[in-house]
Amino acid sequence: MKDDNHKNCVIHTEELSKIYDEGAVPVKAVNNVHLHIEKGEFTALVGPSGSGKTTLLNLLGGLDTPTSGKVWIHGKDLSTLSKNKLIDFRLHNIGFVFQAYNLIPVLTARENIEFVMLLQKESKKERKDRIEQLLKETGLEDQGDKKPSELSGGQQQRVAVARALASKPQFVLADEPTANLDSKTAGNLLDMMAKLNKDEGMTFIFSTHDQRVIDRARRVITLVDGAISNDEVRDTNKVTT
């Protein structure tokens, strides 16, 4: 049963825990999480501050190593990868969008998107085509030559999403991508992500506090004290409206 699970889904975790043992009392930031993410999901990770959202996303993205338990991405056990192989694995399989300052400040939007493809050693033509396509999909046709400092917060996050998609990852992890945006801009960013999810089948997992963002998710996983307290799959139709 285990093997089947690993192959059919994008992310699979078993008994995943991360314990911080620095203070007087050990903190179970992630506590025995079993998680299953299928291809094409549009999933929100919610929970109060300190509930372990960031920690869980970092574990799923191979940025952090669990204290116990394992993460499989498309059947690949992350714990078997060496440091450098893990970096390469992230490059080719996972798109990241962070809360802020995602972009390389000295590169233009276009160059930021191109950056990951350069790391992947994509051909020039391939890069050019994909950049234009991504700029279009993220509504940034006219912003390609601007540096991050010349873009609004919302636009910067769009570029970050475009960059996350540029590597053609298995899924995109976004840790509070809207935290620094006003709610209208946040809504727009989510609409854009939802559209990419619908049109391209890209899997998104994002953490958020924002109810309007949560409303757009098709699955909402609630964390409390590092453990999943609720896992709700919603009606698809409700989302797109």
Partner 1 sequence: MLLKLAWRNIWKNRKRTLITAASIVFAVLLATVMSSVTEGVLYKLQDNVVSFYSGAIQVHKNGYWDDQSLDNSMLINDTLINQLNDHESIHGVIKRLESFALSASEEHTRGCMVVGIEPEAEPIVTKLDNKVSEGEYLTADDKQVLVAEGLAEYLGLGVGDTLVIIGQGYHGINAADKYPIKGLLHFASPDLNKRMVYLPIKLAQQLYGAPDRVTALVLAIDDVNEADKLETELSKIISDKYEIMGWKELMPELNQMLQNERGENVVFLMVLYILIAFGIFGTVLMMTLERQYEFGVLVAIGMRRFKLSIQIILENIFISLLGAAIGTLISIPVVVYFHLYPIEVGGSLQKIYEEWGFEPIYYFSVEPFIFYKQTLIVLIIALVISVYPLLKILELDPVTAMRT
Q: Which residues bind Mg ion (CB under 5 A)?
A: 54
Length of the chain: 241
In the region spanning residues 32 to 61, those forming contacts with partner 1, defined by CB under 8 A, are 58, 61
Q: Out of ligand ATP, partner 1, Mg ion, none, which partner does residue 27 contact, by CB within 5 to 8 A per kind?
A: ligand ATP
Between residues 54 and 155, which has the closer beta carbon with respect to Mg ion? 54
Binders of partner 1 among residues 119 to 138 (CB under 8 A) are 119-120
Cβ-based nearer residue to Mg ion, 54 or 170: 54
What is the distance between the alpha carbons of residues 110 and 135, in angstroms, rounded to a whole number?
Answer: 8
- Total interface residues for ligand ATP by CB under 6 A: 12
Q: Can you tell me the distance from the alpha carbon of 62 to that of 80, in angstroms, rounded to the nearest whole number?
A: 11
Residues 12-31 that bind ligand ATP (CB under 6 A): 20, 22, 27, 29
DSSP structure string for 13-55: EEEEEEEE-SSSS-EEEEEEEEEEE-TT-EEEEE-STTSSHHH
Least distance between ligand ATP and beta carbon 41 (Å): 20
Distance, CA of 179 to CA of 155 (rounded, Å): 14
Q: Is 33 in the site for ligand ATP (CB under 6 A)?
A: no
Q: Which is nearer to partner 1, 111 or 215 (CB)?
A: 111
Task: Decide: is 80 part of the binding site for ligand ATP (CB under 6 A).
Answer: no
Q: Do 130 and 117 touch, CB atoms closer than 8 A?
A: yes
Pick out residues in 64-123 that bind partner 1 (CB under 8 A): 64, 84, 87-88, 90-92, 96, 98, 101-102, 104-107, 115-116, 118-120
Q: Order of strands across the sheet with 227-233? A: 94-97, 171-175, 203-207, 42-46, 219-224, 227-233
In this structure, are residues 190 and 198 in contact, taking their beta carbons and an 8 Å threshold?
Answer: no
In the complex, the smallest distance separating the C-beta of residue 30 from partner 1, rounded to whole angstroms, is 13
Q: Report angle CA 148, 143, 128 to the nearest 5 degrees.
A: 100
Total of residues contacting partner 1 (CB under 8 A): 26
φ/ψ of 236, rounded to 5, equals -65, -40
CA distance 47 to 225: 9
Nearer to ligand ATP, 114 or 210 (CB): 210
Residue selected from 167, 170, 197, 203 as contacting partner 1 according to rule CB under 8 A: 167
- Rounded CA separation 36/11 (Å): 6
Which residues contact ligand ATP by CB under 6 A?
20, 22, 27, 29, 47, 49-55
Which residues contact partner 1 by CB under 8 A?
58, 61, 63-64, 84, 87-88, 90-92, 96, 98, 101-102, 104-107, 115-116, 118-120, 163-164, 167
